[in-house]
Amino acid sequence: MKEIEQFVNRLFSSKTQSKEDKETVPILIEMLEEKVEDLKEEGMNESDAIDKTIAEFGEIDDYYHPHMDKEKRRHKRQKTIEHYKNDLLFSALSTAIIIAIIGFVNLYYFPQYGPWFIVPALGILFWPLSLLYKLLNKKGENK
C-alpha cells in the first residue's frame, strides 16, 4: 500500500527525524496498513479504506505538540470571551435605541393608548440578557 507509506513518509519528512522517529515510521505504516485491511474485511473497497484510515489518523502535529493544542484552545476561549463582550455591548446599545424609538412613537403619536411600549421593551431586553448569560457561563468555564 504505497499510499500509506507515502502518507507516513510525508508526515515525517517535515520533521527533523530522531532515532525514535526512524523506528516509529515502519511501525506506524504497519499499524495503518492493518487498519486498512480491517476496513477491507468489513466490506469497504481499498481506496475508501485508505482514505478513511488517513482521515482518522490526522496530522502529525496533533501527536507532537499536545501543549500547543491546549494553548490554542485557551487563546480561542479568550477570543470568544472578548467576542461575547462586544456582542453584549452592541446588543445593549441597540436595545436602548430600539426602546427609545418605540417609547417616542408611543408617547408622541399615541399617548391616548397609555405606555404600551413597555411590553415590546420587555421582550427586546431578552437579547442583551441572553448574551450576558452566555458571557458569564464562558467566564465560569475559564475558572
Give me the pLDDT at residue 10, please: 79
Count CB atoms within 10 A of the CB of residue 88. Answer: 20
Domain ranges in the chain?
Answer: 2-64, 66-142
Which residues, other chains included, contact 78 with Cβ-Cβ below 8 Å and sequence gap of 6+?
142
User: pLDDT tens across 63-101, in order?
Assistant: 555 555 667 766 766 778 888 899 999 999 999 999 999
Supply the DSSP symbol for 112: G
Give me the pLDDT at residue 49, please: 87
Give me the pLDDT at residue 8, please: 81
Task: Give DSSP secondary structure letters for 14-48.
Answer: SSPP-HHHHHHHHHHHHHHHHHHHHHHHTT--HHH
Give me the pLDDT at residue 18, please: 65
Which residues, other chains included, contact 36 with Cβ-Cβ below 8 Å and sequence gap of 6+?
1, 4, 46, 49, 50, 53
Which residues, other chains included, contact 60 with Cβ-Cβ below 8 Å and sequence gap of 6+?
11, 12, 14, 15
pLDDT under 70 in the chain at which residues?
14-21, 59-70, 73-74, 76-77, 142-143
- Given a contact cutoff of 8 angstroms between Cβ atoms, the answer to whether 135 and 84 are in contact is yes
Give me the pLDDT at residue 70, please: 67
